[in-house]
Amino acid sequence: MQFQQLQYFVAVAETRHFTRAADLVHVAQPSLSQQIKALERELGADLFLRARGNITLTDAGEALLPLARRILADADTARHEVQELAQLRSGRVRLGATPSVCTGLLPDVLRAFHDRYPGIRLLIEEGGSHDLVRELARGALDLALVVLPLPTPAPALTTVELLREDLVVVSSPDAPRPGQGKRTVRISDLEGERLVMFRHGYDLRELTVAACRAEGFEPDFAMEGGEMDAVLGFVRAGLGVAVVPRMVAAKSGRGLRVTPLARPGLHRTIALAHRSDVAPPRAARELQRMLLER
Mind listing the pLDDT tens digit for each residue in 98-156? Answer: 888 888 889 999 999 999 999 999 999 998 888 899 899 888 999 999 998 886 666 68
Over residues 32-69, the pLDDT tens digits come to: 999 999 999 999 999 999 887 789 999 999 999 999 99
Same fold, 3-74 and 165-268: no
What is the distance between the alpha carbons of residues 100 and 254, in angstroms, rounded to a whole number? Answer: 17
Q: What is the mean pLDDT of residues 8-30?
A: 94
Over residues 184-222, the pLDDT tens digits come to: 999 999 999 999 999 887 888 999 999 999 999 999 999
What is the distance between the alpha carbons of residues 182 and 191, in angstroms, rounded to a whole number? Answer: 14
What is the distance between the alpha carbons of residues 91 and 113, in angstroms, rounded to a whole number? Answer: 13
Cut 0.75: pTM above it:
no
List of E strands, 24-142:
48-51, 54-57, 91-97, 120-126
Give the domain ranges of the chain. 3-74, 82-163+270-293, 165-268
Characterize 121-152 residue by residue with b for buried, 16 or more Cβ atoms within 10 angstroms of its Cβ, and e for exposed.
Answer: eeeeebbbbbbbbbbbeeeebbbbbbbbebbe
CATH dotted code for 165-268: 3.40.190.10
**Architecture of the domain defined by 82-163+270-293:** 3-Layer(aba) Sandwich (3.40)
For 202, other C-beta atoms within 10 Å of its C-beta total: 24
What is the distance between the alpha carbons of residues 47 and 57, in angstroms, rounded to a whole number? Answer: 6
How large a percentage of the chain has pLDDT more than 70? 98
**Architecture of the domain defined by 3-74:** Orthogonal Bundle (1.10)
Q: Can you give the pLDDT at residue 203?
A: 85
User: Lowest-confidence range among 86-100, 212-226, 233-247?
Assistant: 86-100
Q: Can you give the pLDDT at residue 66?
A: 93
